[in-house]
Structure 1
Amino acid sequence: MRFFTTTLVLLSALVVSVLGQACDTDAPVSEGRDDNGSNFTYPYPVQFYNFTSQEQSLQMAYMDVEPSSLVDFMGTITLLHGKFYCASTWNETIAFLVGQGYRVIAVDQVGFCKSSKPVGYQFSFMQLASNTNSLLNSIGITSTILMGHSMGGMLSLRYSLMFPSEVSELMVLDPLGLENWFIKGVPYQTIDAGFVTESARTWDSIKTYEETYYYTSNWSCSYDIWVTQLFNIYQGSQGTQFAYNMAQTTDMIFTQPVVYELYNLSMPSLLMVGQNDTTSIGNTWASAAVDLTLGHYPVLAEEAHEVIEDNTLVIFPNVGHSAQVSEPDLFQSTILAWLNR
């Protein structure tokens, strides 16, 4: 196993996404074509995988971006989003990887973003991993480099445990599931209670959450667009069902920690965490004393690093939960150095 803490420093803290230069917090609900309740315009063409799961006809939205013929083809990388994000939030990462010669598949999970919002669906990481594997196989991908963030990092770990022969390398950024919140004293919250919380989401409440945990109070107006993207789904044509799916996926994350199985990972892996990240499921309904024990990502990451075979650990100094958005140059140089190791 290997360990290093990256000390790269951005030359400028004013890195602004081309999608997020305008800080329009009053963006209209209807921005583009409505796809399963999301009207956000993605940076690349959106395709849909139609399939049957749990006796329902469902769609998974995804972007399949090919590299230029002017660069050497380096392989395929599949990107899995976090709970408050969509495939589109990988926009800068996609552009960077495509420029390096990678074909990039960025997927919206069932229940999220431009994918179906099913009623009566049993959400589990094994189900979502199976859905994703089915999508990839349908477009001829039986081996991929897998990268996930937050909930998507947790899903990437589960996918890699289920389909190890189809994951050549694994990269995870601030994955959830590195601790068991219930064992640490967080009380269980029912899906019904979660639905009440999700139904009360506002633009400001989403921003406050992301500012606190994702960007550790270092907010840039370029992040507004990601708040608007999510808020518009809550307000969109399938907003009520989306809120219920979000309550179901919170339950999925809380009840299905992956920390106990990390020693079974067999492929080369890169684990990246922000030094200032304290994200945890249940911190808002845990006691103050319990909350203080949760989400210590540098510690959790080092514990995970010790049990994962062939793992490289990177701790980003002074970074929160979303390095790919807040520090794209640092994040991109880190993954490229590891891929080219």
Structure 2
Amino acid sequence: MKSVFFFLFITLSLSLSAQQNNLKWLDLMLANYDYPFPAKHLSLHVQQQDLKMAYMDVTPQNHNGKNVLLLHGKNFNGAYWESTAKALTERGYRVIMPDQIGFGKSSKPAYFHYTFQLLAENTIQLLDSLGISKTAVLGHSMGGMLATRFALMFPEITEKLILVSPIGLEDWKLKVPYKSVDWWYQRELSKTYDDIKSYQKSSYYDGKWKPEYDRWVNLLAGWTLNSGYERIAWNAALTYDMIFTQPVVYEFQDIEAPTLLIIGTRDRTALGKQLVSEEVRLTMGLYDELGKATHQKIPDSKLVELDGIGHLPHIESFERYIQPLLNFLDE
């Protein structure tokens, strides 16, 4: 009986929090959420199941013959590329923005073995379906790890590589104790609107908040109101395990494509910080050092450091981020 009352208390608390923050219930595949450009779906048959991979594909009238593939981070989807896509299409680039399986408007499978190699293969299938044989590849955060794996697997397709505040510039397994998928799952299940906003405020924006940041909290928190949120939490847990156990840091020297690193020097993102001592924590996610070290590892690379900017340069300081990106693509 006590557990029933506790469940009711948690449910009521979540409901009141949602009302206070005008939080909108979201469909598991975001059917009731509008993306900045028309969203389409590619049918995939993967791991004995039929899945849908969502994507946006924007070709400008003044297409210059070049393409840019934008790969999102773990806590996001293709929608947060809106400003980047508009700037690129104005310059004549065709822009493709997929939602990886488990994210955004794509399928949320009940069972799935996540690997960066598989996500790269899915992305190649998308490009093949669109008739794209050459593209620049840009990845942010977790998308930076995927973009790196993509460039390593498909060097003949990757014309240029851009890594924007990518995670995976260090191997967290060397410092952080392993936690099972079930542990990450329980952690995801407990998340609330306040938890999500607090994390983004402290981790992304250095404790400062602007109203335009609300939409990225609401996209995650709106799912917590869905009775099927367990499916979202499970996929999130599986991708945590993928990130933790599949480092790319040991292969940067094998990247063949000309590469641009755009690093926010204030960024301190690192998986598993809460699991280590304060002493160890202070050695993790030091992007002002990691950017330089990664630049030295990638043979044909350029480094742009954005002083005082955190994990989301394209949201926090768009003008400082977009100009070096356009300059690099135009070369």
TM-score strictly above 0.5 = yes
SS in 2 for 1:195: helix
Deviation at 1:36, TM superposition (A): 2.4
Counterpart Cα distance in 2 of 1:74 and 1:218: 40
The equivalent residue for 1:79 is: 70
Tell whether 2:244 aligns with 1:254: yes
Amino acid at match of 1:136: L
Q: What secondary structure sits across from 1:284 in the alignment?
A: helix
Q: Which has the higher contact order (CA 8 A, sep 6+)?
A: 1
Q: Which runs of 4+ in 1 moved over 3 A?
A: none
Q: Does 1:90 align with 2:86?
A: no
Are 1:117 and 1:238, in contact at CA under 8 Å, matched by a contact in 2? no
Asked if 1 retains the 8 angstrom alpha-carbon contact of 2:152 and 2:254, the reply is: yes
Amino acid in structure 1 at the alignment position of 2:89:
V
1:167-209 deviations in whole A, cap 9, x for unaligned? Answer: 10010111111101111x2111111110011011111111111
Distance in 2, Cα, partners of 1:158 & 1:99: 29
- Give the unaligned 5+ runs of structure 1: 1-23
2:24 and 2:218 in contact (8 A); partners too? no
Greater CA deviation, 211-220 or 262-271?
A: 211-220
> 1:318 Cα shift?
0.4
Identity score, percent: 40
Q: CA 1:340 to 1:149, structure 2 compared with 1: closer, same or farther past 3 Å?
A: same
2:24 aligned residue: 28
1:118 to 97, 100, 109: 109
Quote the residue 1:12 is aligned against: none
Structure-2 change in CA distance of 1:197 and 1:35 (3 Å) = closer
Name the residue aligned to 2:6.
none
**Structure having the higher Rg:** 2
Select the structure that is richer in helix: 2
Amino acid at match of 1:174: S
Q: For 1:113 and 1:290, locate their aligned partners in 2 and report how far apart those are by CA, in whole Å.
A: 34
Query: What is aligned with 2:281?
Result: 291
The residue identity in structure 2 corresponding to 1:53 is V
Structure 1 position 141 matched with structure 2 position 132: yes
Q: CA deviation at 1:54?
A: 0.6
2:267 is the counterpart of 1:274: no
Deviates further, 229-238 or 247-256? 229-238
Q: Residue in 2 aligned with 1:210?
A: 200
Deviation of 1:35 after TM superposition, in Å, equals: 6.2
Name the amino acid aligned to 1:115.
Answer: S
Cα distance in 2, alignment partners of residues 134 and 45 from structure 1? 19
CA root-mean-square deviation: 1.4
Q: 2:58 aligns with which of 58, 62, 65?
A: 65
Amino acid at match of 1:25: N
Q: Give the structure-1-normalised TM-score.
A: 0.88
In structure 2, which of residues 162, 186, 203 is the aligned counterpart of residue 171 of structure 1?
162
2: CA distance between counterparts of 1:202 and 1:221?
19
Q: Residues 63 and 219 from structure 1, CA distance in 2 versus in 1: closer, same or farther, beyond 3 angstroms? A: same
Match of 2:171 among 180, 186, 193: 180
Match of 2:297 in 1: 307
On the 8 A contact 1:74/1:100 being kept in 2, the answer is no
User: What code does the residue aligned with 2:203 have?
Assistant: Y
Residue in structure 2 matched with residue 236 of structure 1 by the alignment: 226
TM superposition shift of 1:303: 0.9
- Pairing partner for 1:102 from 73, 86, 93: 93
Q: Which amino acid aligns with 2:316?
A: S
Instruction: Tell me by how many angstroms 1:74 deviates.
Output: 4.6
**Whole-angstrom CA distance in 2 between matches of 1:73 and 1:239:** 42
CA contact (8 A) 1:38 1:232 kept: no
